[in-house]
């Protein structure tokens, strides 16, 4: 699942912007019995929007 999320970010944002750092933590269970939790902190810049 995590590899798929990483691949999606690169597909959406491209190689330069979509590459990212990640970490995985093992747990016995998550709240509400969800199988996976993906969290992102994103910074948006005008410079990125204006690139060719």
Structure confidence by residue, pLDDT tens digits, 30-42: 778 777 777 878 7
How large a percentage of the chain has pLDDT more than 90? 0
Angle at 20 between CA 8 and CA 33, to 5 degrees: 60
**What pTM does this model have?**
0.53
CB neighbour list of residue 10: distance below 8 Å, 6 or more residues apart: 18, 19
6-51 pLDDT tens trace: 888 888 888 877 777 777 777 777 778 777 777 878 777 776 555 5
- Residue 24 and residue 4 in contact, taking contact as beta carbons nearer than 8 Å: no
Q: What is the DSSP letter of 48?
A: H
In angstroms, the CA 20 to CA 2 distance is 12
């Amino acid at each position: 699942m995590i590899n798929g999320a990483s691949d999606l970010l690169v597909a959406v944002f491209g190689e330069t912007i979509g590459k990212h750092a990640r970490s995985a933590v093992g747990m016995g269970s998550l709240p509400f019995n969800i199988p996976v939790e993906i969290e992102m902190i994103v910074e948006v810049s005008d410079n990125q929007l204006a690139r060719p």
